[in-house]
Chain A
Amino acid sequence: QLQLQESGPGLVKPSETLSLICSVSGDSITYKTYYWGWIRQPPGKGLEWIGSMYYSGITYYNPSLKSRVTISVDTSKNQFSLKLSSVTAADTAVYYCATSTLGNFDAYDIWGQGTMVTVSS
């Protein structure tokens, strides 16, 4: 059974780059025709899609974040990552990595537990 686990700094300074890794266990990330994505949730608020990557390497980003976001995959480490540059307090949130083993862009059936990232000096 595929499992995901987010990791990264819990505190990031304003204007710096937030970097998170999603480690995949239970199966190889290689050749899987899945979508790999990042979703965040500010404290007490709803879900916001950040972006997704198809197994082929094609990436899709939320237009409101596109200029600051990069999602990439490292098949040698069986993980994928998120980088969000020039962060502000508005980027404080729980960040989830997720995957669609259904092969659907819209349906994420496996999620990590989430990691809280606070942007503060």
Chain B
Amino acid sequence: QSALTQPASVSGSPGQSITFSCTGTSSDVGGYNYVSWYQQRPGKAPKLLIFDVTNRPSGVSNRFSGSKSGNTASLTISGLQAEDEADYYCSSYTSITTLVFGGGTKLTVL
């Protein structure tokens, strides 16, 4: 199975909104509403931000939102803060009952 495609890096200024993309195929992202997003700070375990494309687990800020169009899922962070600087990973359920991650996007807050 091939990893989902994410841009290597994005940057933004405090207060801005920023969107991460995650591109797969009709056998994963496009075929199911089972896309999740994780935030990972250096040396820490990943933290679940979004599941099932748009849902936020309890305790996750509503500044984080998810969406999907075709084979591409997106994570948007509104009101960017310095503490948002981290790596962000998407994942998707696949047609062969496996899980595939994206390569990750490094967010730099300017």
Contact = CB atoms under 8 A, between A and B. Distances in A.
B91 A106 contact: yes
Contacts of A108: 36, 46, 48
Interface residues of B, number: 27
Interface stretch (B9-17, B77-85, B100-108): B100-108
Contacts of A70: none
Q: What DSSP secondary structure best describes chain A's contact surface?
A: loop
Contact of A46 (B51, B89, B97): B89
Contact of A107 (B3, B36, B89, B97): B36
B102 A49 contact: no
Interface string A88-121: 0000000010100010111111011110000000
Contacts of B104: 46-47
A60 B45 contact: no
B91 A49 contact: yes
Interface residues of A, number: 25
B36 A47 contact: no
A53 B91 CA distance: 17
Given A46-B3, A62-B1, 11 more contacts: A39-B101, A47-B46, A47-B89, A49-B100, A96-B46, A102-B57, A105-B34, A105-B93, A106-B52, A106-B91, A107-B34
